[in-house]
Amino acid sequence: MEAQIQKPTIETREDVRNLVFTFYDIIKLDEKLGPIFLEIIPTEKWGSHIEKLTDFWMAQLFGIMNFKGNPVQAHRDVDKHFNHSISQDHFTHWLGLWFATVDALYTGEKALLAKQRAQNMAVSQYIKMWEVKPTS
């Protein structure tokens, strides 16, 4: 009988950074989302982007408010850049990859919270983006 390896819980900034870094490495290789992210974020900006997203997730999971940015406007700008072609399917796919990454790396209360917050954000970000899509 094989012993199961217990996954760690999310407890530190380094844990959050590991989650974010691993997730976006997966995103970059993804056929659906990779081209979008790689076009929007230049190679030399990925390091600072990961740190910014780590700040974002630290706020979401631990209430540490170092994040500076406007996710609603950022998503609206990306959608505009791609001629308003970002769809709910993109957010659903992003969410599936996030859940899979969280589940592969971590367990516990903060892992569950990371999935819950991501699910809420995927819905709200899409709605905020949809509100300003052209109707023609």
Provide the pLDDT for residue 120: 96
pLDDT in tens, 28-87: 999 999 999 999 999 999 999 999 999 999 999 999 999 999 999 999 999 999 999 999
Q: Are 33 and 122 in contact (CB under 8 A)?
A: no
Residue 3 confidence (pLDDT) above 80:
no
Helices within the chain (DSSP H only)? 13-29, 34-40, 46-62, 71-81, 88-105, 109-130
pLDDT band per the 50, 70, 90 thresholds, residue 5: confident
pLDDT band with cut points at 50, 70 and 90 for residue 4: low
Q: What digits encode the pLDDT tens for the residues 104-127? A: 999 999 999 999 999 999 999 999
Q: Which two tokens stand for residue 27?
A: 């995103």
Q: Which of 121, 52, 130 is nearest to 86 (CA)?
A: 130
Q: For the chain, what are the domain ranges? A: 13-130
Q: Which of 17, 23, 24 is nearest to 38 (CA)?
A: 24
Residue 73 burial (CB count, 10 A): 12
Of 47, 53, 67, the C-alpha closest to 118 is: 53
CATH fold, domain 13-130, is Globin-like (1.10.490)
SS3 79: helix
